[in-house]
Amino acid sequence: MKPVWIFFLLLSFSYPALSQVSQTTIDLDNLSDKISYEESKTATLDGVYVEGTPYLNKEFTRGEVVIDDSIKYHNIPLRYNIYTDKIQFLNAQNQIRVLDNSQQTYRFDFGNHTFTICDYLGDKGKVKHGVLEVLADGHIQLYKKYQVDFEQATKAIGYKEAEPNRFVRQDDELLIAVGKAVPQKIRPNKKLLKKLAQFKPNIEQYAKSHRLKPKSEQDLIQLIQYCNN
């Protein structure tokens, strides 16, 4: 059975109103090993207290899941675990499931965010696969990669107090892609405007007249949207 149908039946089991598919014989326990592992990694780490949160937002937010631009599921409780880089959803039994399949394209819309799962170029040009937030879409796409690190507890040394195990948010990264190219990290600066000039020759004048700076995420979104128009 193709993974997309496994996911379809999984959601149908959790949300009967979403589908007219007859009762499924799929045992959810067969799909839960990895799910349970992912969840335990970010709870208390084997009972040890962890400060901070690995989630973009700890609470689940109802939203929409789109698979391969055609199959849609509405009103699904969703959240993003930054540390494990997984989109989680909550089924009708309050069980947490993760969505992770490289053979389909996904879009998740919830809490004023739009996410996708795709390949992208990481450090040293290494191809990675993970969750990116879509900031601007069109011929030029702008993405954000959230980052959280787990830092182990430290003992008190001199005047430095002891710290518990903790999740620490790191600086977000911005990525850009043209056409169907793989997204790659960018450095938002004035040089980026010169690169965008191939799409909009007057982009620098536009930025100046609207007082837009590429170092500002919101300003960069506006600049990319202008290039896409």
Q: What is the pLDDT of residues 43-84, one digit of tens each?
A: 555 567 788 999 999 999 999 988 888 888 888 899 999 999
Helix (H) or strand (E) holding 194: helix 190-196
Output the CA torsion sign for 210, 214, 216, 218. Answer: positive
pLDDT tens for 171-224 read 999 999 999 999 999 988 888 999 999 999 999 999 999 999 999 999 999 999
So what's the pLDDT on residue 102? Answer: 66
Output the six-digit token pair for 112: 């004023």
Residue 46 confidence (pLDDT): 58
- What pTM, to 2 d.p., does this model score? 0.78
- Percent share of the chain, pLDDT over 90: 50
- DSSP, collapsed to helix, strand or coil, labels residue 202 as coil
- For residue 218 the two structure tokens come to 């919101």
